[in-house]
Amino acid sequence: MGICARCTARLAHRVFGPQPKLRILMGMYVSAAQYSEQYYNRALRVRSLIRRDFDEVFDPNGKHRLDAIMTPSTPSTAFPLGDVFGDSVLMQYSDQLNVPANHAGTPGISLPAGLDANRLPVGVQVLGPDFSEATLLRIGRAYEVATEGESWRVEKPLGL
């Protein structure tokens, strides 16, 4: 292991929690495994399929012609602070709505959308076609202005 790799490993040990460490280790394992090319090629095929779906939805001459898509950021409200620490299944569950856009390389912005009955935050994400970052920022700003008077904009979430 080179000096840079050792420094990175030591830094990751101090900076990241268990879930990011697990992802880094899994990524290193898959990269080093003898079947890494096979996994990589499969991942590229899946990425192409996901990418094709996003391109179809955002095609200005296509069936849908959307400028943006707004979806929940996570499938549930936030977990209470510390509740899922070390629970990789719940952590991956909470990431599942972000994964398709991340794999496709689709730009997006995440915005606060309120608090649930237990004062835990709820979020939405706005996704757009390639090079739509300026549009997404304008949508985000318009959303902020439209929700300015909402009580959840000033109330602190539980645990903060």
Statement: residue 23 has pLDDT above 70: no
Residues 68 and 139: beta-carbon distance below 8 Å: yes
Residue range 141-146: mean pLDDT, rounded: 97
H-type helices in the chain, by residue range?
3-15, 18-32, 36-58, 88-95, 99-104, 133-146
Residue range 139-148: mean pLDDT, rounded: 97
Does this model's pTM top 0.75? My answer is: no
Q: For 157, which DSSP code?
A: P
Statement: residue 2 has pLDDT above 60: no
Percent of the chain with pLDDT over 70: 72
Q: Give the residue among 112, 105, 121, 96 at the shortest CA–CA distance from 147.
A: 112
| Cβ count near 52 (within 10 Å) | 11
Q: Any idea where the domains of the chain sit in the sequence?
A: 66-153
How confident is the model over 98-110, as pLDDT tens digits? Answer: 888 988 999 999 9
Distance CA 68, CA 11 (A): 38
Q: How high is the pLDDT of residue 1?
A: 43
Tell me which of 15-24, 89-98, 112-121, 146-155 is least confident. 15-24
Distance CA 160, CA 145 (A): 23
Statement: residue 139 has pLDDT above 60: yes
Statement: residue 150 has pLDDT above 70: yes
Query: How distant, in Å, are the alpha carbons of 57, 67, 70, 113 from that of 64?
Result: 5, 9, 14, 25
